Amino acid sequence: MSLFDTHQEDTDDEEENNVNEQEQTDSADVAFVAKLKSSRTLASILKTIDFADDAIFCALTTGVKIIVEDKQCVQGNAFIDTRVFDSYELVRQVRFRFHLETVLNCLNIFGVPLDPVTHEPLPTNVAVQIHYRENQTHPLQLYLEEDGVITECLIKVLDDTDTIDFDFQTENIVSKVVFKASGFKEALSEIDLKADCIELFITQDVPHFRLIANGCGGSTSVDITQDSPVMDTFLCTEPVHNRYKTQFFQYILRALSIASKLSLRIDAAGILCAQFLIYTEKDKPSLVEYFFGPDEEVHEHEQNTQPSDIVLVED
């Protein structure tokens, strides 16, 4: 018996009829069922937004969207397209809140084997089925299978809550910069991510893109020029100088680790949208995005502040 079996042949006709009747009764209130041959696909994407206790689960006609927020000032969204799933059945749209760490623990219930040399995760054959009923008194059901052994996990569903509307103004984007994710992660390693805040400069003049980490011990900075191989696209209609909490940049490190591309967009209000293009084991893209609000206005007289240590990223 497997999660991906479409039927099971029974020799006893009476037993088969009973099973079919029970399945029809059980599935009468089913709102959503999806299957993946690799639970790691789902776990790795959820890990990129694992910065708060609870998350909102949305099953849509286009795929699954997971929303995580922290202190009404940052929002992380993970979108998994229907094409990523091996099977995707949606009777009606679903939205509920759940405990994120509990789901991650369930997805890794069989453990994550590591390469003894590189310590990188090794491929596994753990399949997962997500099952949710229309009646919210029922828990979210996860079925995980490895080598014919099926484990059922029942996860309590919590009351839905409102999410932040950052009102990101796509028609008023003042800057868009696309990076190779690995290159931007390396750039972040050059500045102090324990600093109090990070200032972001984007201008049409060299160095084009600058991050400054300001802390008690001083400041560090990294520059990325438009002709750097790290940068794929550079658009700037007006100069940008905003300050953001360093914690926001710490949140995106996990997404940078598995993403291929990073797109940073900033609107006229200073809202920063960071989008990550992530390819799963099936080589089909998923999208993770973060929304950050500026920490505070940067006053005109601060714009001439010079960092104490500048690193120019060229490779």
What is the token pair recorded at 69?
A: 């927020």
Q: Is the pLDDT of residue 245 over 60?
A: yes
Q: Which two tokens stand for residue 227?
A: 């002709």
What whole-number distance in Å separates Cα of residue 92 and Cα of residue 135? 12
Write out pLDDT tens, residues 43-82. Answer: 999 999 999 999 999 999 999 999 999 877 899 999 999 9
What is the chain's percent helix, strand, coil content, to nearest 5?
A: 20, 40, 40
Residue 117: per-residue pLDDT: 72
pLDDT at 14 (0 to 100): 45
Crossing angle of helices 39-47 and 100-107, rounded to 10°: 150
Apex 128 CA angle, 274 and 254, nearest 5 = 25
Amino acid (one-letter) located at 277: L
Query: Would you list the domain boundaries of the chain?
Result: 29-155, 170-313
Burial class (CB in 10 A: 0-12, 13-18, 19+), 173: middle
Question: In whole numbers, what is the pLDDT of the chain averaged over residues?
Answer: 85
For residues 39-72, one letter each, b for 16 or more C-beta atoms within 10 angstroms of the residue's C-beta and e for the rest, the string is bbbbbbbbbbbbbbeebbbbbeeebbbbbbbeee
In this structure, the dihedral spanned by the alpha carbons of residues 280, 281, 282 and 288, taken in order and rounded to 10 degrees, is 0
> If DSSP codes are grouped into helix, strand and coil, which group holds residue 83?
helix
The dotted CATH code for 29-155 is 3.70.10.10
**Residue 177, pLDDT score:** 98
Question: CA 158, CA 131: separation in Å to the nearest integer?
Answer: 16
User: How much is the pLDDT for 216?
Assistant: 79
> Is 170-313 the same fold as 29-155?
yes
CATH of 170-313, one of 3.70.10.10, 3.30.70.3400, 3.30.565.10, 3.30.465.10: 3.70.10.10
Encode pLDDT of 8-57 as tens digits: 444 345 444 443 444 444 556 889 999 999 998 999 999 999 999 999 99
Between 22 and 148, the higher pLDDT residue: 148
